[in-house]
A and B are shown apart, each in its own frame.
Chain A
Amino acid sequence: MRLPDSVTGSFLVVLGTAAAYGGWLLPPVPGQPVGPNVFPLVIGIGLALCGLAIVFGIGHTFEEEEVLIPLDGQTAAAPPPQGKLYGLRALLPPALLLFYVVAADRLGFIITAAIMVYVTSTALGAKWKLALPLAALAPFAIHLIFGKLLRVPLPAGLLPTPW
């Protein structure tokens, strides 16, 4: 997800200004010259200035473009399909984590984890022969380590573990 520098820079300007303004609004500590408001103010201004510099392309000459090393001896893999939706695949992992937050208490750890494993595995190109056993076994293994050995209170939900 490569955005133009003007977009990321402008975003930083807005964020920095908002932070400085938010810091400005904080109440000072009575009787003291500085309080919780100074630090966000300084950072916000700094961030906004950096954002401006990025918009104007200052420092761009320092950037080293990442060189992809071509693999010799074997033909490089076919170029990944470039569609509009293809880039959205990257958002799957955080989406699954949010799904865990929402569903874990209701469905329980084992079921939620199994769904997460299956979806991630399939999205990375696994056949069901790998994804299904993995989804069945991995949650139990993780539960054994974290829930049983380390005593993390993982939610039981619909399917409590046998231990």
Chain B
Amino acid sequence: MLKTLIEAFALISTWEVIIAMFAASVYGLVIGSLPGLSATMATALLVPVTFYLSPIAAIATIVAASSMAIFSGDIPGALLRIPGTPASAAYADEAYAMTRKGQAELALGAGVWFSAVGGIAGVLSLMILAPPLAEIALSFSTFEYFWLALLGLMCATLVARSSPVKAIAGMFLGLLVSCIGIENPGGVPRFTFGLTDLFGGIEPIPALVGVFAVAQVMRAMLTPEPPPLPRRKFGSIMAGQWMLTKKYHWQMTRGNIVGIIIGVLPGAGADMAAWVSYAMSKRFSKEPEKFGTGHVEGLVEAGASNNASIASGWVPSLLFGIPGDTIAAIAIGVLYMKGLNPGPTLFTEKASSMYAIYLMFIIANILMIPLGIAMIRVAAYILLAPRSGIMPIIMLCCAVGSFAIGNNMFGVVTVAAFGVIGYVMEANGYPVAAMVLGIVMGTMVEQAFVTSLIKSDGSILPFFERPVAAILAAMAIGALLWPVMVWVWRKVKPVRTGVAATSR
């Protein structure tokens, strides 16, 4: 144990890792603070750069950039009422109300402090949960993997803030995309239409860049530019945070726990965690009437929650290759590329690398406090940058980055195509996150499904025979039927629709 810990320290205390982490932190803070550029997009655009780094440095950049971006989305939320990332949308109104009351320092300070605390709680959950789960996962056969993957996909459709039917359709679209290519049980070209470029299948990373970055530039073309930030002097940012911690320690803990649970659930990420935690905070608060008028309580809970989900989202990713959220989906791609194939054996064979990941998460969250404070102070200048100056650079990065992934132009075509697909889906209420999970998990689902069917000789029964498989199957089918039950419940009790809608 101690030996692996020392090895892990040695792994991360190289100049490459330190510089990569620092640069990625600054990058994450800047991208996260710009309205319209999300943490997922920041991470996706970082992937081509990680190709040229050592495995640990590559993961360090992703860990640092994603944690920082989730926090720094709070900055324009509090100052402009425009959330920098979707994860800050839940409490942007509240934070802005505080700013108008002259409490911008308190709101932003709470953002930094409780994000860091939440992030560290998330890492602790990763350290505690992952090894015992890995023990259990070692005994999993393809039946369990099939149900687990299906459960992951179903969770992604459940938590989408849209029609569950459209979410499931989005998931099927993603799975269909993953069918393309010759990497299938028969090794025959499938849906390639004779194009050699399609033989290798659609790479998840260009698809992700298209859906999250190009689609965003497309939306920017049609939406008006956000207003510039009024310049202001800030007082002490961390003053009063310790008092808040003591006063709201229970809310903070609850936020951490909710964030961790939502992070572990496949498909649900930081934005969901923030919405749920903010709603919970309001429901259980002693003074719910203060919510919406610039009350810090909800900020504490939701801020602690969304950063906790970032680290715990890595639990299913590292164990099963099932992404906990869209950022983890990108991280999985990088893990495979760097020879750290997700799976339970990762924790025994590459234990030092795992410890290195934990350490980097902790360091990133501690680093968030000084860098975050600096960022808040310079945010007014960064937010001066006009959108017409930033979006062109994003476009160039999309083009060059997607080319760099395979050094061929087909990557650029993929990015453009998925930009259009993502834009159209989003505009019509189809959640893109469900499709992304489908693309990332498609090959795994198919392999587990077909191998299981071959083993069972075409019979369905063995899918339910093993106890763990049966439990997972029940959960997956329950997740599929849940919207139907909610719908029936609403029909039977039309008066209580509001309750049914929020408890979904």
Q: Which residues of A contact B (CB under 8 A)?
A: 1-3, 5, 8, 12, 15-16, 19, 22-23, 26-29, 32-40, 43-44, 46-47, 50-51, 53-54, 58-64, 69, 71, 74, 77, 80, 86-87, 89-98, 100-101, 104-105, 109, 113, 116-118, 120-126, 130-131, 134-135, 138-139, 142, 146, 149-154
Beyond the given pairs A12-B169, A50-B169, 4 more chain A to chain B contacts, judged by CB atoms under 8 angstroms and listed by A's residue number, are A27-B188, A47-B176, A77-B225, A150-B48
Q: A62 and B164: CB pair below 8 A?
A: yes
Contacts of A53 in B (CB 8 A): 165
Which A residue's beta carbon lies closest to that of B162?
A: A63
A62 with B162, Cβ < 8 A, contacts A1-B423, A90-B222, A93-B419 known: yes
Jot down 8 A-B pairs with beta carbons below 8 A, ordered by A.
Answer: A63-B166, A64-B161, A64-B162, A91-B420, A93-B218, A97-B395, A100-B399, A154-B403
B interface, how many residues as a size bin?
Answer: 35 or more
| Partner among B48, B49, B224, B391 whose Cβ is within 8 Å of the Cβ of A80 | B224
What 7 A-B pairs have minimum CB-CB distances, sorted nearest first? A126-B388, A59-B165, A124-B388, A36-B186, A50-B169, A97-B416, A59-B163
Q: B221 and A92: CB pair below 8 A?
A: yes
User: Most chain-B CB neighbours within 10 Å: which of A26, A58, A97?
Assistant: A97
Q: Is the interface of A mostly helix, strand, loop or mixed?
A: helix
**B244-252, B337-345, B407-415 - interface stretch:** B407-415
Report the Cα distance A50→B174, complex, angstroms.
Answer: 14
- Check if B386 is an interface residue, CB within 8 A of chain A: yes
Report the Cα distance A139→B396, complex, angstroms.
Answer: 8
Smallest CB–CB gap between B416 and chain A, Å? 4
Which A residue's beta carbon lies closest to that of B186?
A: A36
A32 with B454, Cβ < 8 A, contacts A98-B416, A150-B49 known: yes
Q: A90 and B457: CB pair below 8 A?
A: no
Report the Cα distance A36→B453, complex, angstroms.
Answer: 12
**B282-290, B291-299, B318-326, B427-435 - interface stretch:** B427-435
- Check if B184 is an interface residue, CB within 8 A of chain A: yes
A94 with B417, Cβ < 8 A, contacts A1-B424, A62-B163 known: yes
Q: B172 and A43: CB pair below 8 A?
A: yes
Smallest CB–CB gap between B101 and chain A, Å? 14
Which B residue's beta carbon lies closest to that of A53?
A: B165
Report the Cα distance A138→B392, complex, angstroms.
Answer: 9
Which A residue's beta carbon lies closest to that of B184?
A: A36
A26 with B186, Cβ < 8 A, contacts A117-B392, A120-B391, A150-B51 known: yes
Q: A47 and B169: CB pair below 8 A?
A: yes
- Check if B483 is an interface residue, CB within 8 A of chain A: yes
Report the Cα distance A123→B48, complex, angstroms.
Answer: 27
Contacts of B404 in A (CB 8 A): 146, 150, 152
- Check if B93 is an interface residue, CB within 8 A of chain A: yes
- Check if B128 is an interface residue, CB within 8 A of chain A: no
User: Most chain-A CB neighbours within 10 Å: which of B172, B175, B416, B430?
Assistant: B172
Q: B221 and A93: CB pair below 8 A?
A: yes
Report the Cα distance A60→B249, complex, angstroms.
Answer: 40
Tally A-B pairs: CB < 8 A: 236
**Which B187-209 residues sit within 8 Å CB-CB of chain A?**
187-188, 190-191
**Which B89-130 residues sit within 8 Å CB-CB of chain A?**
93
| Partner among A16, A40, A90, A138 whose Cβ is within 8 Å of the Cβ of B393 | A138
A36 with B188, Cβ < 8 A, contacts A64-B162, A94-B417, A120-B395 known: yes
Report the Cα distance A38→B179, complex, angstroms.
Answer: 11
Report the Cα distance A154→B179, complex, angstroms.
Answer: 31
**Which B345-401 residues sit within 8 Å CB-CB of chain A?**
386-389, 391-393, 395-401
Report the Cα distance A92→B389, complex, angstroms.
Answer: 16
Report the Cα distance A7→B2, complex, angstroms.
Answer: 61
Report the Cα distance A59→B185, complex, angstroms.
Answer: 35
Which B residue's beta carbon lies closest to that of A16?
A: B172
Q: Which residues of B contact A (CB under 8 A)?
A: 48-49, 51-52, 81, 93, 161-166, 168-169, 172-173, 175-176, 179, 184-188, 190-191, 214, 217-225, 227, 386-389, 391-393, 395-401, 403-404, 407, 409, 412-413, 415-417, 419-420, 423-424, 427-430, 446, 449-450, 453-454, 457-458, 483, 487, 490, 504
Q: B389 and A33: CB pair below 8 A?
A: no
Smallest CB–CB gap between B67 and chain A, Å? 23
Report the Cα distance A138→B400, complex, angstroms.
Answer: 12
Contacts of B176 in A (CB 8 A): 15, 19, 40, 43-44, 47
Q: A124 and B221: CB pair below 8 A?
A: yes
Q: B221 and A123: CB pair below 8 A?
A: yes
Contacts of B429 in A (CB 8 A): 63
Report the Cα distance A69→B292, complex, angstroms.
Answer: 14
| Partner among A40, A86, A152 whose Cβ is within 8 Å of the Cβ of B222 | A86
Report the Cα distance A113→B398, complex, angstroms.
Answer: 11
Contacts of B222 in A (CB 8 A): 80, 86-87, 89-90
Report the Cα distance A39→B168, complex, angstroms.
Answer: 16
Q: B221 and A130: CB pair below 8 A?
A: no
Q: A51 and B169: CB pair below 8 A?
A: yes
Contacts of A47 in B (CB 8 A): 169, 172-173, 176
A27 with B186, Cβ < 8 A, contacts A38-B453, A43-B176 known: yes
Report the Cα distance A34→B458, complex, angstroms.
Answer: 7
Smallest CB–CB gap between B130 and chain A, Å? 30
Contacts of A101 in B (CB 8 A): 409, 412-413, 416
Report the Cα distance A92→B220, complex, angstroms.
Answer: 11
Smallest CB–CB gap between B214 and chain A, Å? 5
Q: B487 and A152: CB pair below 8 A?
A: no
| Partner among A16, A28, A121 whose Cβ is within 8 Å of the Cβ of B388 | A121
A34 with B392, Cβ < 8 A, contacts A46-B172, A59-B165, A74-B227 known: no
A130 with B388, Cβ < 8 A, contacts A1-B423, A61-B487 known: yes
Smallest CB–CB gap between B79 and chain A, Å? 12
User: Most chain-B CB neighbours within 10 Å: which of A34, A109, A122, A130?
Assistant: A34
Contacts of B163 in A (CB 8 A): 54, 59-60, 62-63
A134 with B185, Cβ < 8 A, contacts A2-B427, A91-B218, A101-B412 known: no
